[in-house]
Amino acid sequence: MAEKADSELVRRQNRLLVLGALRQHGASARVELGRLTGLSPASITTICAQLISEGIISEESLPVITPPSGKRGRPTVRLLLNPGAALVLAVKISIDDVMIVLTDFRGETIARTEVRLPTYDAGRDLFGMALADEIARFLAAQRVVPRKISRIGVAIQGLADSRSGSIVWSPAFKEGDIPVAHALEERFGVPCFVANDANMIAEGLVSADRVRYGGVTAAIFTGYGVGMGVIINGEVFHGATGAAAEFGHMNHIPDGALCRCGKRGCVEAYVADYGILRHYTGETGREAPRSAVPESTMTGLNQKAKAGDVKARAAFELAGSALGYGIGRVISILNPDRIVLAGPGLQTSELMDQAMREALEKSVVEVLRRDVAIEQVRFSDDMIIRGTVDALLRIIDRDVFAIATPQAAQALAAHG
């Protein structure tokens, strides 16, 4: 019995290796899959034959370029993921706004929409149903029946509980502990997860370049809020409840400026857009933070800083300093290979970047930070959506299609 169990585990792991290689590298010949996965030619042949028969992958035949001699070579047969094997739905929730994206099994976008949906004053028990209504309208417009969807993923600003599928706290909501996953699962009969948007950014980085981000990486988001996703050995670390790496709500100054979370002195209260604007306007930091800051306001403030406005420069420098000291703590605890900075925060002000690096030098001894690469990546909301889609597809690879033939075939039939 133990031998059979071990054999099933190996088969599952090998199928997952092949699916992962095709997902990361795209269409590949069998010999290339062997090189990428380390599996033997015989194993590759067997696994690929199974995946093809189940409709999970397919063959693409391309002729070899005709050489000068005029003789054609044998066609190179490449394998690729079957886009129709599964559909996933990614949802991003921000203040009074919801983005919904439908993709195929390759992660290619089929349709997307962005709708205004009141969040801040939404009732705790009503928001999930309202979101389900919007998703139902979207699917109806695309003529997609809910049973065609394999998974739904929801990314939110703030703190998510992955076990209960709820939004514990978010600047987008006045209330907390908002159930979301249960409402969607009950409505559509589809498994759903709820996750922090910074963790989804980290998921997207892993998918984009598993080699580059295959060690220990901290991906820090700055902008309307401050968050962090941690990648360890190529996997995003979510913690016991999905609340790992709440960098923005780590204390920077005890009893300091009021944060949106209700506590005082958080890193976010100094680094997020509302913290920067609050310092510029001369507020004490005891006032309730703004629920939203227009992008145009921050762009204008950045322009003032570049033009020499002393108050604007000081606001960005204070934010950069708080961020630098926070990153110093991360380096001391995690000993990461790489720090990735994303979001509109640092991308709008050179002053903030300079102050961050000066604070980092002060906060961590050189021997700990000298080998840490710090890089910025251009941010857009699509980074969050992309990461959510990637996480959904990896879940399907692992929990559905990596399973031996009978179960995978049943799952495909249920959603195909």
What is the per-residue DSSP string for 393-408?
A: HHHHIIIIITS-HHHH
Contact 173, 119 (CB under 8 A): yes
> 10 Å Cβ neighbour count for 10?
11
pLDDT of 295: 86
> Using one digit for the tens of pLDDT, what is the confidence trace for 174-203?
888 999 999 999 999 999 999 999 999 999
**Mean predicted lDDT score pLDDT of the chain:** 89
> Using one digit for the tens of pLDDT, what is the confidence trace for 40-50?
999 999 999 99
**Nearest-angstrom CA–CA distance, 255 and 375:** 31
The number of CA neighbours under 13 Å toward the Cβ of 343 is 27
pLDDT of 8: 84
The structure tokens listed for 161 are: 């509980």
Contact 60, 80 (CB under 8 A): yes
pLDDT of 268: 95
> Using one digit for the tens of pLDDT, what is the confidence trace for 291-303?
788 889 998 998 9
In the sheet with 159-161, reading across from the earlier edge strand, the strands are 159-161, 166-169, 178-179
More confident residue, 75 or 11: 11
Residue among 101, 123, 120 nearest 110 (CA): 101
Domains, the chain, in order of start with CATH, read 2-62+76-81 (1.10.10.10), 85-190+382-415 (3.30.420.40), 209-379 (3.30.420.40)
Task: Assess whether pLDDT exceeds 70 at residue 172.
Answer: yes
For the chain, give the percent of residues with pLDDT over 70: 91
Burial 56-91 (b: 16+ CB within 10 A, else e): bbbeeeeeeeeeeeeeeeeeeebbebbeebbbbbbb
**124 CB-contact burial (10 Å; exposed 0-12 / middle 13-18 / buried 19+):** middle
For residue 119, which phi and psi values (nearest 5 degrees)? Answer: -110, -45
> Using one digit for the tens of pLDDT, what is the confidence trace for 63-101?
545 555 555 556 678 999 999 999 999 999 998 999 999
Q: How confident is the model at residue 304 (pLDDT cuts 50, 70, 90)?
A: very high
> 10 Å Cβ neighbour count for 38?
10
Q: How confident is the model at residue 341 (pLDDT cuts 50, 70, 90)?
A: very high
pLDDT of 348: 62
Q: DSSP letter for 6, please.
A: H
Cα 18 to the center of its chain, rounded Å: 23
> Using one digit for the tens of pLDDT, what is the confidence trace for 223-275?
888 999 999 998 999 888 887 788 999 999 999 999 988 999 999 999 999 99
Contact 196, 155 (CB under 8 A): yes
pLDDT of 105: 97
Residue among 303, 339, 92, 56 nearest 200 (CA): 92
Q: How confident is the model at residue 7 (pLDDT cuts 50, 70, 90)?
A: confident
Task: Assess whether pLDDT exceeds 90 at residue 333.
Answer: yes
pLDDT of 291: 78
The structure tokens listed for 111 are: 């349709």
Q: DSSP letter for 251, please.
A: B
